[in-house]
Amino acid sequence: MAEPQARPDGIAGSALPGPFSVGRYAADLREYLRARARVQLFGEVWNLRVSRTKLYFELRDAAGALPCSMWRNELEALQLSEGALADGAQVVIAGGLDYYTGSKTSSPSFSFAVTALRVAGEGDLLAQLERLRKTLDAEGLFAPQKRLERPGLPRTIGVVTGEGGKARDDVLAGLRRRGWAGRVVWGFAPVQDRHAAPRITAALQDLAGTGEVDVIVVARGGGSLADLFCFCDETLCRTVALLGVPVIASVGHHTDRTLIDDVAALSCSTPTHAAESAVPVHCRDARAELLRCAHRLSVHARRALLHRAQTLVRLSRAPSEHLAGERRRLHQRLREIRASGRRRVEDERKRVGRRALVINRRVQAEALDARRAAGLNALALALAAHDPERTLERGYALVSDRDGEVVTSAAAARGARSVSVRFSDAAVDATISRDDDDRA
């Protein structure tokens, strides 16, 4: 603000002093608050936020709360262990009230300026949360939801979320990413204030009670654990645990684990992820896969039918093929028999021919022999006719000299004097006497 404006008139009839310029009043207020006694306070840290130079948080207990701020260099000087100062931490702080007066362009703020801090231990709320977590676990309430069968392809999905929150759009984006376009039933409920837990519980019960919802997504965007504390409500968690419909929780982020994350069937880090988990089947891929399966079945069926047809054709052809085969075999046998017969006849013919030739030759030889024998007989007879032996048998005698020469005349006989006279049965020697000469 440049210069204070000219002081306007006050409110007519008002007995209060002024009007004063707000900047001056704010500065006076700051001085007033700063003049208050500096004290120590204790409570739980919630909504812890850290900026470049300062950290801000609320110090709470069951009765009330106070906004607090602290310079980062003063906190770092305390050298606290990492994570010691977090939502739910029980702390003791020292400091005093302060007021930032703001300006024309910046908002004023009131806070308790912390100059010293000590972490006293785990906050009551977190301790309560942990006790409840253990109780529910001991009662076995983390298990029932996880035993429920989650459909791969739900037709109707119930969603419990804030009506104006970003989680709603994230859920729809997750469903679109899955290619899912079924029915979404919105169970809108506040997801932050103290009325949230009963409304969320009622929405869950109503959704399950319709009998139309296959799976329920409970979604809320990120926030501090304090903001998400409604999702740690005991009644809500017991309701979820015993619900007959699977519940997928997506509350805050993984760093802020609420009890509904433990009792739900599944806990996801974002509403988009929760929506995708509600539809495990990717619909576009599933359609493509189904087409592939249908095609495979069609191919197998066609092949099977073709095979059957081929078998039938083969079977139908079998008798005629068998007959043709038999016919071929018989013809072959017949040809073989005929050939064999011809060979046999030929062989016989040749053999008979050979035998006939042999016989013929033998007959001819025998005839020749006969002829020869006859000739020989004739010759023998002729010879016999001329045989001197035959003459001798008739009473003639053959005279030969000592040298065996035939004596054919009486003169020769006389000259030989001693001759051999052969008769048919034997020869006898004879001497030619002189008397014979005389008689001659």
d(Cα 241, Cα 271) in Å, to the nearest integer?
20
Name the residue nearer to another protein (CB basis): 128 or 311. Answer: 311
Q: CB 194 → another protein: shortest distance, Å?
A: 22
Nearer to another protein by Cβ, of 254 and 303: the residue is: 303
Q: What angle do CA 123, 240, 277 make, to 5 degrees?
A: 100
DSSP-assigned letters across all residues of 84-98? SS-TTEEEEEEEEEE
Minimum CB separation of residue 298 from another protein in Å reads 8
Closest to another protein by CB, 11 vs 304, is: 304
Residue (111 or 272) nearer to another protein, CB: 272
Q: Which is nearer to another protein, 237 or 279 (CB)?
A: 279
Q: State the nearest-atom distance from the C-beta of 97 to another protein, in Å.
A: 47
Give the residues lining the site for another protein (CB under 8 A).
149, 151-155, 158, 172, 175-176, 179-188, 203, 206-207, 210, 212, 279, 281, 283, 286-287, 289-290, 293-294, 296-297, 300-301, 303-305, 307-308, 311
Q: Which is nearer to another protein, 85 or 265 (CB)?
A: 265
Closest distance between another protein and the C-beta of residue 151, in Å? 6
Contact 168, 217 (CB under 8 A): no
Nearest CB to another protein, comparing residues 151 and 222: 151
The distance of closest approach from Cβ of residue 41 to another protein in the complex, given in angstroms and rounded to an integer, is: 44
SS3 state at 20: coil
Distance CA 162, CA 191 (A): 6
Q: Which two tokens stand for residue 25?
A: 């009043």
Q: Which residues contact 246 (CB under 8 A, 6 or more apart)?
A: 145, 148, 149, 150, 215, 216, 265, 266
Cα–Cα distance for residue pair 340/351, rounded to 1 Å: 16
H or E, element range at 185: strand 183-188
In the complex with another protein, the residue whose CB is nearer, 39 or 293, is 293
Angle at 116 between CA 115 and CA 120, to 5 degrees: 145
Q: How far apart are CA 249 and CA 261, in angstroms?
A: 6
Alpha helix (H) residue ranges in 71-195: 72-78, 124-138, 144-147, 166-177
Q: CA-CA distance, 160 to 195, in Å (whole number)? A: 15
Minimum Å distance from CB 143 to another protein? 21
How many CB atoms are located within 10 Å of the residue 6 CB?
5
- Compare residues 293 and 365 and give the one whose CB is closer to another protein: 293
- Contact criterion met (CB below 8 Å) for 85 and 91: yes
Minimum distance, C-beta of residue 314 to another protein, in the bound complex (Å):
13
Q: What's the CA gap between 385 and 391, in Å, rounded?
A: 9
State residue 280 phi and psi, 5-degree precision: -60, -30
Least Å distance between CB 161 and another protein?
Answer: 11
